[in-house]
Amino acid sequence: MTAIKYKNIYIIGMGVSGISAAKALSELGHNIYIYDDNKKFSDISENLSNCEFIHYDNIKWDALDYLVLSPGIPTKLPKAHPAIKYAVKHKVKITIDIELFLNLVPKANIIAITGTNGKSTTTALINHIFKHNGYDAFMGGNIGEAVFKLPIKNNKKTYYILELSSFQLELIDKARFNAAILLNLSEDHLDRHGNMSNYLEAKLKIFANQKENDLSLINKDLSDNKLIKSLANQISFFSANNLDIPSDINIAKFGSNENLISAIEVAKFYNITHLIINEALKTYKSLPHRLEYLGEINNAVIYNDSKATNAESTKNALVKFSNICLILGGVAKSSGIKSLKNHLKNVSSIFLIGEAKNEFAKELDQFNYQNYHKASSLDEAFKKALNFAKNSSEKVTILLSPACASFDMWQNFVERGNNFKKLFKEHKDGETL
């Protein structure tokens, strides 16, 4: 195992990634100092007795080698964390758990996936294909386990498949990814990055340290972007239109063609045969809250796409179905639902919920789309959608794909999705409308 060169590490942010990094690095013999702005040491349930909990005003910065920031801690916007100024002043390297973990496994194959939408599905699908082929594969990063919860295996037969957000990538310095994918890009996280150019620059760091024989994949839809054009000699473009799989595979469970095609390209890069790939595609099950098939109630087929927190993600869902009852709303992104304007032909009715419902109603009026209804809650919207389906002569797809964040009514998209699944179960079990 390659040792991390520096010994004195200060980790700020005691969420899952911060705690697992602190625990693993202290067990490897490093001097670990930790802090969290919103927690006391007694709030941390894991055994971190070898770590010192200390405020950034009180730590000896001259003795530190690394400042490790959890992904949720802002480096610039909306306001940089105060510890960053100390680190810059004392020339302490600012990094993230991903970078330190990869220092320990330089011989392993590292596959990284980013994009505004579809990261989790693509990561999970690649992992599924690799495991189906018998590869020693581990999935983590922004999905599943934090990297320091994964086994540390420094050999050429190990594959780490990592979903990486822009928050994680902006702190990447020397980490090299043997295969890297940029799935797509649409307006998101501008409160953190300031503008789309900064957002894209963070995403493109996934390719920064690649070598000639590495795989670099970018969606062809982004090929006209100036920043991406500057990388033209080192990257390959993939097209969401070049799909060639057996007709008996349900492509809806993959979220989008770009998720599926990019996963297949990575599998082929690592010499997995078409036969194995197609076998794996048939047995893959969609992730919770991502076009998750729940079942049927009378004349309605129900899908939970609570992870669709922006309009681009919802747009991808709309092309998969017909006669859709769409449940839309929550905390709107700055771009609203403009990108849905030309993708409502399959939508028979829309039920608006949450903080954005009045704003979305105005946008739908501008689209000349009139068949929408406001609801006071997700429960009411679901009941109205079921009633619509009951009176329809054709099969109806009821789709929760909110195009919004969930924070007006729930802690996160998982809680929102679980609430929707609970409503489905209640009605499936025979509750009256």
Contact criterion met (CB below 8 Å) for 147 and 101: yes
Residues of the chain with CATH 3.90.190.20: 292-428
CATH of 100-283 given 3.40.1190.10, 3.40.50.300, 3.40.710.10, 3.90.1640.10:
3.40.1190.10
What's the topology of domain 292-428? Protein-Tyrosine Phosphatase; Chain A (3.90.190)
What token pair was written down for 429? 């079990």
Q: 75-120: per-residue pLDDT in tens?
A: 999 999 999 999 999 999 999 999 999 999 999 999 999 999 999 9
Predicted pLDDT of residue 432:
46
The angle, 0 to 180 degrees and rounded to 10, between the axes of the packed helices 378-390 and 413-428 is 40
Residues of the chain with CATH 3.40.1190.10: 100-283
- 8-95 maps to which CATH number? 3.40.50.720
Residues of the chain with CATH 3.40.50.720: 8-95
Residue 412's Cβ-side half-sphere holds a number of Cα atoms within 13 Å equal to 2
Ramachandran area for residue 298 (φ above 0: left; ψ -120 to 50: alpha; else beta): left
Predicted pLDDT of residue 1:
42
Predicted pLDDT of residue 3:
54
Residue 157's Cβ-side half-sphere holds a number of Cα atoms within 13 Å equal to 4
Q: 142-193: per-residue pLDDT in tens?
A: 998 999 999 999 999 999 999 999 999 999 999 999 999 999 998 888 889 9
Q: How far apart are the first and last CA of the chain?
A: 60
Q: Considering only CA atoms, which of 194, 138, 150 is closest in space to residue 170?
A: 194
Contact criterion met (CB below 8 Å) for 197 and 100: no
| SS3 category, 251 | helix
Per-block mean pLDDT, blocks of 10 residues, the chain (433 long): 71 96 95 96 87 97 97 93 98 97 97 96 98 98 95 98 97 97 90 92 96 96 92 88 87 92 97 97 94 95 96 94 97 94 97 98 97 98 97 96 97 97 93 47
Give me the DSSP letters along 158-187.
Answer: EEEEEE--HHHHTT-SS---SEEEE----S
Q: How far is CA 430 from CA 71, 392, 418, 427, in A?
A: 43, 20, 19, 5
Q: Give strand pairing partners of 334.
A: none
Block residue for tokens 């490897």: 28
pTM of the model: 0.91
